[in-house]
A = this chain, B = another copy of it.
Amino acid sequence: MSRLVLKFGGTSVADVARIKIAAARVKREVDAGHQAIVVVSAMAGTTNQLVAWCNETAALHDQREYDAVVASGEQITSGLMAIALQSLGVKARSWMGWQIPVMTDAAHGKARIREIRRDAMEASLAAGEVAVVPGFQGRTEDGRITTLGRGGSDTSAVALAAAFEAERCDIFTDVDGVFTTDPRIVSKARKLDRITYEEMLELASQGSKVLQTRSVEIAMNHRVRVQVLSSFNDQPGTLVVDEDEIVEKQVVSGIAYSRDEAKITVMGVADRPGVAAAIFGPLAEANINVDMIVQNVAHDGRETDMTFTVGRAELDHAVRVLENALHKGFEAATIAHDSSVVKISVIGVGMRSHPGVALTMFRTLAEKGINIQVISTSEIKVAVLIDEEYLELALRALHTAYGLDAG
């Protein structure tokens, strides 16, 4: 008898009718002889409502209380899912994060799982009960409720699959799997049958919303086989697996994009050691993630420009932090910023053995008259920042250029 984790996202448990459909899906696996751990998100829209209430109560609010409020969304779904399973004759019970318990650190709002204590739930599974777990939840050592951050239910599912040594973790969503790129923009996008952890990680962190980055990291570290599939049909989805399991590697597997980008340029800073630290130190202290970075050559041997990107929502905060830092150190510098940019990332493990992937990208964009503002690369990724007006044009051109078009 093998063990599966089945995770249903918000649209797959959007209302009672959908919860019943999801429960029937679980029943099929139980009838096939599997032990099942079911992880559920909040019903679609619920988390947004709860977050809005917190913000409405106070713009700056205690993250511990925020966690208590928003964790209730998943709690509701878990009870309803247990009821739905029972009504189909499937033995089931809900397990809140604090009941299992899923122990996390105390970084409320974006906690990280430290340990999942197996004993109680293991006994329940052994007794033939389906365990229904609200995703996204944990508790601290001193007994406060934590949440794992947006998309945290994926993380819960993969972490439970790792802790309970599940054969596979099925992530049910409203799309058919992982696509070569966003099919809403590129009609010729294709569903991938398999993708490597590394590629999935890049896709997730570069803007693909299919899986949360942290969940892919855990899957990769613990070699959890993850399947992304639709709860709206019975088609197989995309399997996220070890590179060994993929025989025919593509040079480029997918193209991700992110609109959540803003560009900041600090002009006229002295070109001397320590200047980067003087800029990025204050940003790091303010908990602002900096992504792409380029430093121009000094204009006159003494001054230089520094350009980098931050999350669009953090732009105002970042600019304020930098203006403070300027006050204290770089009187000559000025700050420019632009939030009408997007990042496009071309991803594939095959890049390692195929040079020229970046060149194809630059050439393709140049042919369409698209200016590249910033470039960053990793072993299996080339990412560029461009004017957001060109997003769709660029995506379609690159999808064709890398031979990803369907049919």
Q: Tell me the A residues contacting B by CB distance below 8 Å.
A: 16, 19-20, 50, 53-54, 56-58, 60-62, 64-69, 71-73, 75-76, 78-80, 82-84, 86-87, 93-94, 96, 98-99, 143-145
Q: Is the interface of A mostly helix, strand, loop or mixed?
A: helix
Tell whether, in the assembled complex, residue B79 and residue A54 are in contact, meaning their CB atoms are under 8 Å apart.
yes
> 25 interchain pairs (CB within 8 A)?
A16-B53, A16-B57, A53-B76, A54-B83, A57-B84, A58-B83, A58-B84, A60-B87, A62-B93, A65-B82, A65-B83, A65-B93, A66-B79, A67-B79, A68-B75, A68-B78, A68-B79, A68-B94, A68-B96, A69-B75, A69-B76, A69-B79, A69-B80, A71-B75, A72-B73
Tell whether, in the assembled complex, residue B20 and residue A57 are in contact, meaning their CB atoms are under 8 Å apart.
yes
A93 partner residues in chain B, CB cutoff 8 A: 62, 64-65
Q: How far is the CB of A67 from chain B (nearest CB, A)?
A: 8
Tell whether, in the assembled complex, residue B68 and residue A87 are in contact, meaning their CB atoms are under 8 Å apart.
no
- Given known pairs A54-B83, A56-B16, the reply for A72 and B65 (CB within 8 Å) is no
Tell whether, in the assembled complex, residue A54 and residue B66 are in contact, meaning their CB atoms are under 8 Å apart.
no
Tell whether, in the assembled complex, residue A54 and residue B80 are in contact, meaning their CB atoms are under 8 Å apart.
yes
- Given known pairs A53-B76, A94-B65, A99-B143, the reply for A58 and B82 (CB within 8 Å) is no
Q: How far is the CB of A68 from chain B (nearest CB, A)?
A: 4
Contacts A50-B76, A68-B78 known; 16 new A-B pairs at CB < 8 A: A19-B57, A20-B57, A54-B79, A57-B83, A61-B86, A64-B93, A65-B79, A65-B83, A65-B86, A66-B83, A68-B75, A68-B94, A72-B73, A72-B76, A75-B75, A98-B98
Q: Which residue, A50, A69, A98, has most C-beta atoms of chain B within 10 A?
A: A69
**CB nearest neighbor in B for A49:** B76
A16 partner residues in chain B, CB cutoff 8 A: 53, 56-57
